[in-house]
Structure 1
Amino acid sequence: MPAPRQLDPTYSVAAYLGHKIRREREKRKWTQQVLAAKVFVSRVRVAKVELGSDPPNPSLASRFDQVLGFEDDLYNLARVLENVQVRDYAQAYLARQLEAIAIHGYSIVVPGLLQTDDYARALMLAGQAGDPEEIDRYVERRVARQEVWKRTKPPWMWTLLDAAVLRRETGGRSVMRGQLTRLREMCELPQINVQILPENTTAIAGSLWLLTLPNGDRGAYTEGFSVGAYMEETAQVTRFQRVYDWLHTNALSADASMKLIEQAIEGYA
């Protein structure tokens, strides 16, 4: 049997994370197969994690923590790695989003916290040419962020969604039906609200999000195609609050919005 491949743990965060897992596994005299069964993944996935070639998302890292007795060490490393891998301009926003107690925004696509895997993948394939495996990792990380809805006190989220989202066949009819069905289901949760901005009103180019943090601080994030900005200056946040308020005055009621979503689901049958 060939000797385990050696890896420099100082090469990267992924390499260090994999090194910690392999060292603890070997200390316990477990095979990769044994560890894989305990964290509910394949032996091949454990091997890739240990080599630093396919690092775990925070959810899987948390399972490694529990099994190997690392408390939250691996989870925190996975979060650091996740933030390093997203676009620089989005890192601060995504970090704050996980802390937020309230999220208000306007979007020209179904927002990430409400996306299905297939819809997220379709958006990423349309927005970038890349290795399918790399895109799969991005999808996995995005969907993993939806763990916020399992918190004891999940955030309050109020989304204004451009009506064109309901008609644009992102990923095809089957993907759209699945995504809009998920959207309807999520709207049944008391902390999630979606209102549709009709197509006969003026919208804005790009997406806008406002965050309220536990200490009362607020932030604003705007994003277009491959460009975005996160800001916490009071004047800037106030400016984008006004934009959000103006859009909100033109949005349909929650009940009328749900009827449009239902009609769209039927249209994709």
Structure 2
Amino acid sequence: MPPARELDPTASLAAFLGHKVRRERERRGWTQQHLGEQVFISRVRVTKIELGTDPPNPSLAGRFDRVLGLEGELENLAKVLQNDQVRDYARAYLARQLEAEAMHDLWIVIPGLLQTEDYAGALMREVQAGAPAEIERYVERRIARQAVWDRAAPPWMWAVIDAAVLGRVTGGRATMRGQLIRMREMCEIPQVNLQFLPSTATVIPGSISMLTLPNGDRGAYTEGFETGAYTEEPSGVARFQRVYDRLHANALSADASMNLLEKAIEGYS
């Protein structure tokens, strides 16, 4: 067996995390295969983690913590690393989104909190055009955020979506069918409401998300291609609320939107 590749733990946060995993594994005399079996991943993935080339998301890092007895150290490192990899303009919004009590969204794509893993991956391959491992990490983080629906009191979400997204084949017909079925299933959650903007309505070239926080504060996030902004300044929030309200008024009713969704699902059969 070739000697283990040396890794400088000071090279990056991912390298430091990988160094800690390898150190604790070797301290126990475990092989990468054995450690992988304990946390339900392959030996190859363990190798990549230890080399710092494919760091774990917080959920996987938490499994390493439990197996290696590190009391949350790796999970905390993974969270810091994850935050570092999020674009600066989105950090405040994503942090607030996780604690929000209500979200009123306007999207030209399917919102991330409602996306399937296949749809998210296909969408990111189009807009990110990055390395496969990088895209995989983005997808993992996006899907992990859907844990908000497992809260004892899930957030209220009212999403207004451009109806054109139903016919925009992203990732293939099977991926689209699975995504639309997922949306239908999410609508069974009392807190989730969807409405579609018909083709006759004006659609802005971007997305708006209005957040209401537990203390009553409100924020507004806007996003276009490769750029975005988050504000909690009252006048800015009020301005985006007016844009949302104007377009929401032109959306199909909830019942008509569900009928449209059902027809779209049938179209992908």
Q: Distance in 1 between matches of 2:84 and 2:172?
A: 32
2:120 aligned with 1:107: no
Q: Distance in 2 between matches of 1:120 and 1:86?
A: 16
Q: Please report how far the alpha carbon of residue 205 of structure 1 lies from its aligned counterpart in structure 2 after TM superposition.
A: 1.5
Q: Distance in 1 between matches of 2:66 and 2:212?
A: 31
Match of 1:57 in 2: 57
* Structure 1: tracts of 5 or more residues without a match: none
Q: Distance in 1 between matches of 2:74 and 2:247?
A: 41
Relative to the length of structure 2, the TM-score reads 0.93
Q: Please report how far the alpha carbon of residue 263 of structure 1 lies from its aligned counterpart in structure 2 after TM superposition.
A: 0.5
Q: Distance in 1 between matches of 2:139 and 2:98?
A: 17
Q: Distance in 1 between matches of 2:28 and 2:212?
A: 44
Contact 2:92–2:230 (Cα < 8 Å) also in 1: yes
Contact 2:54–2:133 (Cα < 8 Å) also in 1: no
> Once the two structures are superposed, what CA deviation does each residue of 1:148-184 show, in whole Å capped at 9, x if it has no partner?
2222332221111111111111222222111101111
Instruction: Say which SS state the counterpart of residue 201 (structure 1) adopts.
Output: coil
> Once the two structures are superposed, what CA deviation does each residue of 1:114-137 show, in whole Å capped at 9, x if it has no partner?
111221122122223332332222
* Structure 2: tracts of 5 or more residues without a match: none
Amino acid in structure 2 at the alignment position of 1:140 = E
Q: Distance in 2 between matches of 1:111 and 1:170?
A: 14
Match of 1:35 in 2: 35
Instruction: Say which SS state the counterpart of residue 152 (structure 1) adopts.
Output: coil
Identity of aligned residues (%): 70
Amino acid in structure 1 at the alignment position of 2:141 = R
Amino acid in structure 1 at the alignment position of 2:17 = L
Q: Please report how far the alpha carbon of residue 49 of structure 1 lies from its aligned counterpart in structure 2 after TM superposition.
A: 0.7
Q: Distance in 2 between matches of 1:65 and 1:172?
A: 38
Match of 1:198 in 2: 198
Q: Distance in 1 between matches of 2:199 and 2:209?
A: 20
Amino acid in structure 1 at the alignment position of 2:158 = W
Amino acid in structure 2 at the alignment position of 1:43 = R
Q: Please report how far the alpha carbon of residue 82 of structure 1 lies from its aligned counterpart in structure 2 after TM superposition.
A: 1.5
Amino acid in structure 2 at the alignment position of 1:158 = W
RMSD: 1.6
> Once the two structures are superposed, what CA deviation does each residue of 1:4-29 show, in whole Å capped at 9, x if it has no partner?
32322222111111122222222333
Runs of 4+, deviation exceeding 4 Å? none
Q: Distance in 1 between matches of 2:63 and 2:11?
A: 24
Q: Please report how far the alpha carbon of residue 141 of structure 1 lies from its aligned counterpart in structure 2 after TM superposition.
A: 2.1
Contact 1:83–1:95 (Cα < 8 Å) also in 2: no
Q: How many residues align?
A: 269
